[in-house]
Structure 1
Amino acid sequence: MHPTTITEQAAAPGTAVLEPAAPAVRVAGVHKTFGRPGGEQTVLQDINIDVMPGEFICLLGSSGCGKSTLLNLVAGLDEPSSGRIEIPSGRPALMFQEHALFPWLTAGKNIELVLRLRGVDRADRRSRAEELLALVRLQDAYGKRVHELSGGMRQRVALARALAQDSEVLLMDEPFAALDAITRDVLHEELTRIWQSAGVSVVFVTHNVREAVRLAQRILLMSCRPGRVAHEWRIGLPQPRRLEDPAVAELSVEITNQLRKEIRRHARD
């Protein structure tokens, strides 16, 4: 169910009516091509997506289908060849597969750098950085340098740094792909908890079907190039979910079969 807002009904003053909320992200008719005229390659074709406030969406598809390209367009790192992208709240926060932390800074100072760029007063930066580290369950990591942190801890600091941007939209490009299965499982739980408490909209790119089913409220399956939204699933399973839950496994099989069909269709074209 989409979030709603209360508005006053013109015909009956004092009567509240429900009206759909405006999307946190709107992608409308987006195409993306690379190359020069005569040798262009269409990577994305007619992408239309509304991400509602507080919604968790996973973009799912095989490698090379344009998932990361679409995320870069939403992040403002590139521009669509045609169509438009609207984010009323301003620039979204972005988290990559690599943590991209500055190794010469401590975990806390990596977060404080973002706060300084946002114009947060120097006197408030440390306390806010410590709050964000506590949110990702790294209360004692403020003074630790990157080499002292495990892979999972580095990704938690990267998540805290993304949240320090105070954006209403969080974009995540396969942030757990390089982690071992146990660490990834733990971070799935943490991300679900943080998303629910922070109330941000999340667009999460993955090629892992079970990861998508575990995390998302809605899954968009992209076709092979040119990338299009080929199928959509709304996930009604309650959170928190586990990878081994029968309902998660069952839906993962359904989505995997559809993904295989898309890959086979592309191979025939």
Structure 2
Amino acid sequence: QPSEFAKASLVLWSAAVLANRTKSLGDPKRLLLPFLIGFGVIEGLVLMQHDVGTALIIGMIMFAMLWFVGAPLRVMAALAGVAALGVGALVVTDPERMNRIFSFMDPASASSDQPMNAIYALASGGWWGLGLGASRQKWGGLYNGAQTDYVFAVLGEEMGLIGSLFVLLLFFVLGFAGLRIAARSTNKFLGYAAVGMTAWIVIQAMINIFVVMRLLPVVGVPLPFLSQGGSALLANMIAVGVLLSAARQEPGAAQLLASGPKTRQPRLMSVIDAPRPRG
């Protein structure tokens, strides 16, 4: 999906803007004008596709980056108020979104039984699950979403509570590592980019899992690294690549890399650079 690459591009662009305007944090106009224009353009394009879930994630990424750079609380509060009004207007003015809210509040009135089938899948998994490939719901009530939005429900049915907790632990470790990398980075651009990429993956994973567990209404966002989609997976790997690049700039990592053994020259390069015999 193009929106996945838009998230990565937007994070990198925003990190560059914030890194160049760190001294303007006390001046909301100078700080927010270019920042909000970039986010506003992407948000507008996403909303034109009626993808509120992706728009919410992009907005949360913006808040995470502003919080990390130390934007004033009055600015954050004002943006939160505007965002809440905007989301409310988008929901109220769209019958389909209102139907999702009503279905979330009253499962018996739902036009789709996928949310309840996701709960059945998680419940039938027990402690250790039914075994890999043994899910029943992916051939039944979750047939159309087993490989996309409801992949976590299938995972819980096949791997049980233990497997589900392990997946949650992996996302927690990724989030902790990303924030640690951002806090220790000596490069402002990489630090801000690390925060944005971490917020993107962790927030999107939380929203997807909360929807599967019926803690949120259906918003239609994939689970990073696990949901089907080659472009989404590639975008997730780009985010991880940015985190690894930022990790190499940590003081301890830089010293370790400098003191470590030099990498061996590839054989192909050795052949190319080898001295040629004179005729």
**Structure with the larger helix share:** 2
Which TM-score band (shorter chain)?
A: under 0.3
TM-score (norm 1): 0.26
Q: Which protein has the larger Cα radius of gyration, Structure 1 or Structure 2?
A: 2
